[in-house]
Amino acid sequence: MLAYQKLTEHYKNISHFSHLASICHWDQATMMPSGGNDARASAMAALSVHLHQLSTDKNLEAFFQNAKSENLNVEETANLLEMKRAFDLATVLPEKHVKEKSLAGSRCEHAWRTQRQNNDWAGFCENFKTVVALSKEEAQIRADASGLSPYDAMLDIYEPGMTCEKLDLLFSDLKAWLPELTQKVQEKQSKEFYLRPNEIYKTTQQNELGLSVMAYLGFDFNHGRLDISTHPFCGGVNTDVRITTRYDEADFVQSLMGIIHETGHARYEQGLPCHFSSLPAGQARSMGMHESQSLFFEMQLGRSQGFIQTLSPLACAHFPHNDPDVFKTENLQKIYTRVQPGLIRVDADELTYPAHIMLRYEIERDLINGKITYKDIPELWDLKMKEYLNMDTQGNFKNGCMQDIHWCDGSFGYFPSYTLGAMYAAQFMATIKKAMDVDDLIRSGDLTPVFNWLDTNIWKKGSLLTTDALVMQATGEILNPAYFKKHLIDRYL
């Protein structure tokens, strides 16, 4: 057998155990009674150990060496690169470091759940300083192995090929026009009146509306399902994608758009290339690309006027006993495009969201590259919130620098993915609009041509191309933030 074949068998075996991990993780978040948690945690830990052993199997080194000289086609070569990338990411850290960081992360995250409620920054720092130290150590090890800077090496985990140099350019551009645009839009919207949802919207009806919208968006229910969890996510495996939402009976707005967002993630997974299913080249390209699909569905499609025109009668029909004026197109449109700077990232609107990301990016970049320490975070947070969103967060750690889970376990380098996703999504939509009349398709009720474009240009590419090559093939240029700017101006001004 060729070394390449031996490698693919090994990575297929890994994917089988990842499959079990995904399903059991989904079960934990949606189905498991709380008393089952301890035994489940132990079972999941045993599975992690097994997966780590498989991922760092020293025997693979010789296969990687031999596979290089084997006669592989373009796709096999891409798959070999991705397998090697996965192997390097897994093996570069000493096992001792992996365990220490995992333990420190769990400890910090567990305590954070209470400390955040108590606005207890000092208490949080007791654990957080270890997480930061271990993350800096990790970044340095990855930097030494890759030749990248420490923070770039962390970025590369989530967004291969992305660097501070590129991000600084993107964000300095954003910084130049976003605060002013936000202010203008706020002024404009301050004169607008609209009806807020102010009734009971039953969970069963919200659920049925969600399922209708998923069907309209082409979610394949033969390969996935919708359930409820405290924190919405898209999980499972690409042949069986499990998306979740949470319902607030006082407000249908969040859960409905949340379902549309997760449906974007889900269609990417469901559309990944079958012939590389369960192999690294058949996985989603990056976290930013994944977010581009959820934001394409939520922002580019979901909040567009045409889509809301379709949504309006559907929502009316599912809530026959609620005030129909709330669901009128113009009103829904205003609900879904309202701009209001706030302290909390996850509650932010499309326009102010990137400010939350810039702020976090700048802080974590300097923290990992050693220009600041964790002690400087609150002051920097306050300064930047003032500068970007004109908000005061002094002393408010709870809804300031302690609001996110990402830093608790040392996931430094993840945040930029959100805004990269928004930018990719705008660029994809701009390209699609050159080829077809999207508003017309939405009005016709059949978005198939749009989904076909995504399927051909994004989903079916898996990780067979680099991100730059994928974006170039799809849109004729690499990431260009001008499309995002134009999209925001067109929609909000």
Instruction: By CB under 8 A, name the binding residues for its own copies.
Output: 13, 16-17, 19-20, 23-24, 27, 31-36, 38-40, 42-43, 45-47, 50, 220-225, 236-237, 239-240, 277-278
Secondary element (H or E) of residue 235: strand 234-237
User: Hey, what amino acid is at 67?
Assistant: A
Q: How far is CA 169 from CA 174, 333, 345, 363, in A?
A: 9, 32, 22, 16
Nearer to its own copies, 23 or 472 (CB): 23
Smallest distance from its own copies to CB 44, Å: 8
**Separation of alpha carbons 411 and 419, rounded Å:** 16
What is the 3-class SS of 243-288, one letter each residue?
A: EEECCECCECHHHHHHHHHHHHHHHHHHHCCHHHCCCHHHCCCCHH
Q: Which of 395, 374, 370 is nearest to 385 (CA)?
A: 395
Looking at the Cβ atoms of 19 and 491, the one nearer to its own copies is 19
Nearer to its own copies, 19 or 338 (CB): 19
Angle between helices 164-190 and 416-435 in degrees, nearest 10: 70
Burial (0-12, 13-18, 19+ Cβ within 10 Å), 440: exposed
Question: What are the CA-CA distances from residue 37 to residues 109, 243, 270 (Å)?
Answer: 17, 21, 29
Nearer to its own copies, 238 or 333 (CB): 238
DSSP 8-state class, residue 228: E
Task: Catalytic residue, from 76, 82, 138, 262: name it.
Answer: 262
Shortest separation between residue 222's beta carbon and its own copies, angstroms:
4
| Beta-strand runs (E) in 113-175 | none
Cα separation of 77 and 71, whole Å? 9
Q: What's the min distance (Å) between Cβ of 391 and its own copies?
A: 42
Nearer to its own copies, 23 or 469 (CB): 23
Whose Cβ is closer to its own copies: residue 56's or residue 480's?
56
- Cα–Cα distances in Å, from 94 out to 52, 143, 155, 283? 12, 14, 20, 26
CB of 274 to its own copies, least distance (A): 10
Instruction: Give me the least distance between CB of 227 and its own copies, in Å please.
Output: 8
For 61, residues 6+ apart whose C-beta sits below 8 A from its C-beta are: none
Residue 294: name the closest of 459, 436, 492 by CA.
Answer: 459
CB-nearer residue toward its own copies: 53 or 114: 53
DSSP 174-213: HHHHHHHHHHHHHHHHHT---PPP-S---HHHHHHHHHHH
Shortest distance in whole angstroms from residue 2 CB to its own copies? 21
Rounded to a whole number of angstroms, the CA Rg of the chain reads 23
CB 280 within 8 A of CB 10: no
Reduced to 3 states (helix: H, G, I; strand: E, B; else coil), residue 226 is strand
- Could you tell me the two tokens for 37? 């948690």
* Rounded CA separation 256/201 (Å): 11
Nearest residue (CB) to its own copies, 34 versus 69: 34
- Nearest distance in Å: CB 43, its own copies: 4
Q: 262 catalytic, yes or no? A: yes
CB of 19 to its own copies, least distance (A): 4
Residues with a known catalytic role = 262
